[in-house]
Structures are given as C-alpha cells and as structure tokens.
Structure 1
Amino acid sequence: MIRKSNKIGLACLARWTGGRPRLLGREDDEFVVQTAITWPTVLGKPFTRWSIRKLADHLNGNITRPVLICRETSRCLLAHRGISFQRTKTRKETGMRQAQAARHIICHTSSPVG
C-alpha cells in the first residue's frame, strides 16, 4: 500500500476494495426490517416485543426463509434504518414534589373567593 501510494498518490485509495464482502443482499435487509416492525405475536411468537437476540434467533431459525444474521449485524442494520428496541424512559416525580403540588392545589381551592 505504501509503495503504491508513493507511486500514484491518493488515487490508490479510490481503488482499494478491502473488507469482507456482504453476505446479505437488499432483499434480506428488507426482510429483516419488515420482520422487526411486525409484532411478534403476528408471527406466532409468545412475546409482545422484539429484542435483538429474539429477532436474530427468529431469523436464523425461520423455516420458510432463514436469514443467517448475527445480533450485531441486525442491530447495525436496524439502527441505520432508524429502528430501535429501547423503550423510552419516563421520570417519576419524587414524593416531595407530589406533596408540594398537592399542597399547592389544596391552598388554591380552599382560599376564600372574594
């Protein structure tokens, strides 16, 4: 690589085709995405939400159309498509804030109307 870059300059980077070839095609990608956005109960699974592990196990063991995919590849593919299985977290108010809010409501409702 160094000899080639010394010989032709930065043009050697455009010719580089390193890396492992993809094992999944576009049709497989679409099948993975469609499976991920489908409820597991529709596909006969006994749970209500997919996890990356459950999705990969389902795709690898699918009899009609097996897709050999690991968890990391499926996570990267779904993240690239904007799909995440993380639930949104909500914050609960502390007991002190709830008590203050309740006192505030009681004070305003029990004050004499002028």
Structure 2
Amino acid sequence: MARQPEVFVRSLEPEEAQRLVKITRSTRDRVRLRRAGVVLASVQGRSASEIAVMFAASDGYVREVIHAFNESGFAALNPKWSGGRPATIGPAVREQICRIASCKPVELRLPFTTWSLTKLVEYLAGQRITVSTETVRQILRKAGISWQATKTAT
C-alpha cells in the first residue's frame, strides 16, 4: 500500500497559536482538548503518524482533524454532537397510540376496564404497531395522558 502524503496544519498567526495553547490549558471538553493538541503537534512539524501515536488515535482521525482545521479554523475543534437516535415512530403513529390509550378498553370490546401499559402494548401489537412498553409510557407522558385509573377516597 502506498504511503499517504504528509498533512500539516496551515501556517498560523501568532495570535492563533496562542489561542490554541490557551485552549489546551483551559478547556474542560476532552474532544476539544484532543483536537487542539493534534493541531498544535502538527504546527510543531510532527507527522500524522507521530501525532496518532501521541494521542492513541488513528492516522485517519489525525488527518481529518488537520484538514478540518485548515478548512474551518477554530470551529473544527468543537465537537459536533448529534441529537441522538432519530425517532422511529412518526407523529401519525404517536397520535394513534394516544387515541387508543384515551379510549376505554370496554369500548374496544376488550374484557377489562382499564389499561395497563402491558395490555396497551399487546393491543397495539394486534393493530400492527410494534413498540416497547417504555416507548408507550414516554409517548403518553409527553401527551399528558394517564393510562392509570384515578382513585378517589370515599
């Protein structure tokens, strides 16, 4: 396999170099600290493979950080956190779950008077809606729907 050409950070202004050093000394974000360290090591003339060994990273990661810094500057040091896993249940299905949970089971010709989360999940499975008990609980809670019968003192 052919050797990758060496990649280095663009030449920095003195203020930029000072800012990088300050980030490595003061930041609490580990991702930002690691990326700033990679950039500083590159400024010092170290190769991508040397930097990878220093930071226990892959050559590819080091190259990505250097390229990103060359293109975007200091914005490349910030982690790009996503919002988590995308929702797999759409709004139409959520609405249907809420509608079913709002009905009394007797109205749906079921032999019980109140829903439990387990019974609701089983009924939904019969309607070809496959969801976990926890997902149903979260959907109902967000919609402000209680599946439990309210008890009153007499």
- Normalised by the length of structure 1, the TM-score is 0.62
Bigger Cα displacement from structure 2, 77-86 vs 25-34: 77-86
Letter in 1 for 2:117: I
Partner Cα distance (2:35, 2:107) in 1: 55
Pairwise CA distance, 1:88: 3.5
Q: What's the counterpart of residue 150 of structure 2?
A: 88
Partner Cα distance (2:120, 2:130) in 1: 11
Letter in 1 for 2:145: I
Change in 2 beyond 3 A, CA 1:49/1:89 = closer
Letter in 2 for 1:78: L
Q: What's the counterpart of residue 75 of structure 1?
A: 137
Q: What's the counterpart of residue 75 of structure 2?
A: 8
Q: What's the counterpart of residue 37 of structure 1?
A: 102
Partner Cα distance (2:104, 2:151) in 1: 21
- Whether the aligned pair in 1 keeps the contact of 2:101 and 2:147 (CA below 8 Å) is no
Identity of aligned residues (%): 37
Pairwise CA distance, 1:17: 2.0
Q: What's the counterpart of residue 23 of structure 1?
A: 88
Pairwise CA distance, 1:32: 0.1
Q: For the aligned residues, what is the CA RMSD? A: 2.7
Instruction: Using CA pairs under 8 Å that are at least 6 residues apart, name the structure with larger relative contact order, 1 or 2.
Output: 2
Q: What's the counterpart of residue 104 of structure 1?
A: none
Figure out how many residues of one structure are paired with residues of the other and give that number. 87
Partner Cα distance (1:5, 1:78) in 2: 42
Gaps of 5+ in 2: 1-29, 37-73
Gaps of 5+ in 1: 93-114
Pairwise CA distance, 1:31: 0.3
Pairwise CA distance, 1:55: 0.4
Change in 2 beyond 3 A, CA 1:10/1:37 = farther
